[in-house]
Structure 1
Amino acid sequence: MEFRDIQARLHDGRHIRFAQWQLQPGEYWAITGTNGSGKTALSCLFANQLVLSHGNADGLPGRVAYVSLEAQAAQIELERKQDQSDLNDCPDHGTRVRDLLAPLEEVQHWVELLGIDHLLDQGFRALSTGESRKVLWIRCLHQQPDLLVLDEPLEGLDSRSRDVLQQELQRLQQHGQAIVWVANRLDELPDWITHLAFMHDGKLLYQGTKAQVLAEPELNGLLHFDRPLPDFPPATIDYQLDAQAPLVTMTDVAVRYDERVLFEQLNWQVIAGEHWAIQGPNGCGKTSLLQLITGDNPQCYRNDLKLFGMQRGRGETIWDIKKHIGIVSASLQWDYRATTNVLSTVISGLYDSIGLYQATGDDDKQLALQWLEVIGLRDKANQSLQHLSYGEQRLVLIARALIKQPPLLILDEPCQGLDDPSRQLVLAFIRRLAQQQEVTLLYVTHLADEIPSEIGRRLQFEPQGDQSQIHFYSMN
């Protein structure tokens, strides 16, 4: 493939520009760079999905398959549009997994490798983030494309699934499958990657062998967070909670879906200032546990839950609960489809809404601008949220969760989709919040190296048969 004199306009008005880029047979390229640099847009050139205002693209492959967070969001949006809940008078969980993967006999090898046999009769929308990722992985591999584009392909997957896919990709690479990897994190690149293209601010800054590009002196500065962590804006809300009472108390709690029991007999308390890491494989019940707290799982009403001094099911509203919680998750990012700019998105965290539907004062706007300054995106305050890269959107939603500095902050894989500097910034946020102990953290991650030492407790889901056993550990 060869690209010459390329110029293409991006959603935010910037342009991708470069003079030449060649990809030769036998070369395995990774596209890397900072959040919002144009990495994903550059990868769209391979499928002729980026409209060129100038330049030529020659030798493009006939069939291109993408594994990406954006493709996952697009499938979830498609399932929403096909929702038949109103017609059937019952929840529509989306297309069955076996139908998405049909003909099943042709993909059975990958179904078994990724351990999703038990999901075949579930609807796509009922899957966890990691489970839905596995389904889309299998669909892409089954296409046997001329070129496989992997954009942050391991995000949201547990450690076993990561290892399995790394081995499968190495097998495909050894058999000649053309692959381009799009990466925020250089440490996740497989050894068989031979060449790097480095993007920054819409420019193809460096290209060449992996060793040549990594030796560029400017690269180190672009890929590391090396500025002092800004001060957080002051808290503006007094939540008036009893400092001695647990934030969350669960007594003999269970979550069941039809015949499947995710977990049962859970007794757990979250004390203010005691931070928890929550870990376990894809589909074990982590998200369902968090949704019991946020009120987004209807089974919260059939369980014995006490949240922020309120017994669930005793007349409290969902907003009485949500006002005490901030949340960052992939599902929130996919649900946040409101047509709004970045500033309004951050302000909406004060009102626990998807979008902003009421007049706001100057104090709210100034507070939101201060948080955008902290995450380094103040210059994008008036841009559409949907026109930002996935990683930039994630940073905005982190600011949205922090703006009200809630008593309980739920961080469900908050570093997903972030480049190294942004990841280091967010982990620094988490360490500071944990040290201050004014906000209590529930932190979900598949990566042990992302758990700050200040988080002292761990809730571990450990699958046993068809359900999970939950164990508690001290991390000190």
Structure 2
Amino acid sequence: MVPSTRLASIQLNNATISFEDRFTLSELDWTIEPDQHWVITGANGSGKSALAAALAGIGKLEAGTVEGLPERVGLVSFEAQAELITAELKKDDADIMDVVSLGTPVRDMIFEHCRDGELANELVEKFGLSHLLDRAFRKLSTGETRKVMLIRALANEPDLLILDEPFDGLDVDTLAMLQAHLAAIVESVPMVLVLNRFDEMPDFITHVAYLDKDRPDPVKGSKKPREGGRLAFTVDRQDEAAFNELYQLLHLKTTDLRVPEADPASRLPVLDPSQPLVKLTQATIRYGDTLIVDRLDWTIERGQHWQLSGPNGSGKTCVLSLITGDHPQCYTNDISVFGFQRGNGESIWQIKQFIGYVSTALQWEYRVSTSCRNVIISGFFDSIGVYTKSTDHQKKIADQWLALLGMQARADQPFNKLSYGDQRLLLIARAMVKHPPLLILDEPCLGLDDMNRQLVLALIEKICEGNETTVLYVNHHTEDRIKEIDNHLTLDKNH
């Protein structure tokens, strides 16, 4: 990648960039205009730092094109910091010539390649490094080294400033000073910041790029696949709805919050641990001469998450209704659910209490005007709407679910005023509040745009990370797989 001699828009067109045999960014389509300021964010391991480095001309262009990279790029990152320290440590090798290397002093590190000495002096004072100018660079603390790199980048009059987690490790006063300085130069320097935390995003940021993990083909001659990432979304900060969705996605992908605990007062009866959750033996569904499901054998054990796939008309919903007891042919088949043998006198409600269920049809039915909090609370009562007084503990659990979804501020908003995707997230939380042994998600991504689909998939991943609920996830898009689900059943049409 050859830097441009003029400052213009930066364009990555279907670019694939590799970083030795360690990491690959694939099929990047991205344009940065001179008046834009970007944040790169995403899950751990998705390639945020790699993308920032690519804008500095680092990495090997494997495919596509990269145009408009400026000549002077100010890059501050942990990787660049480590390279500087390593270079300084190598100077110790000079002792083989009976010379004691003192290393490069901070003064030289800052001023030798500085284009704006006055600004450098000002920043040295503001960062509190005046008393360290004659100290060897390699003798500084990690935080002090970071400050030196920031001063070097800012005082070199860069055409593009790239700051990878610039606020990490800074004290409160230094953080405020740096943010104020960045805000003061936004009219003259395009900036790209790598941030994990949305609450650290400066007000001047205009756009957000979200990266997700990718799995490229294995490196030739290597048995281990090269790690990879891809640019999943770019969002204009002025698009409030899209920005909020991206915030929720990052929140679900990176938060340390786990699925809230169940309400002890609403705890379900204990199941026989020796019995599988579901066992279908030679299950067959037929309508006249039309065979829908043909002699299906399927056992779902506790903690064994499944994805059920197949084309339209292959019988996915029919199989689900055999499990829930809603299909008239469930009593003519050999079906055991939660230790109950179908047809031996059990009631449908004895079965349904152990199942959480979410489908597009349920979302159509949930038309009552109630708050987001009450939608989740209704899961304690298996009702559409809340008609029984809820306890303080149930309200607390509902609020914990809202926190997990990044929707605390919308607790009292009407459910029917939310986006289609947010409604789906709340209905999944509603199905989960009692921690059912089996959660059935029937095409949960149906009707969702790409961003909302990623939100729902991220929530399902969170649920699968728990150990109380087994997930049965139904879809027909192979790209919507959940990494925590490693059991798959694919149905084919029998007619």
> Could you state the TM-score of these two structures normalised by the residue count of structure 2?
0.48
Is the radius of gyration larger for structure 1 or structure 2? Answer: 2
Greater RCO (CA < 8 Å, at least 6 residues apart): 1
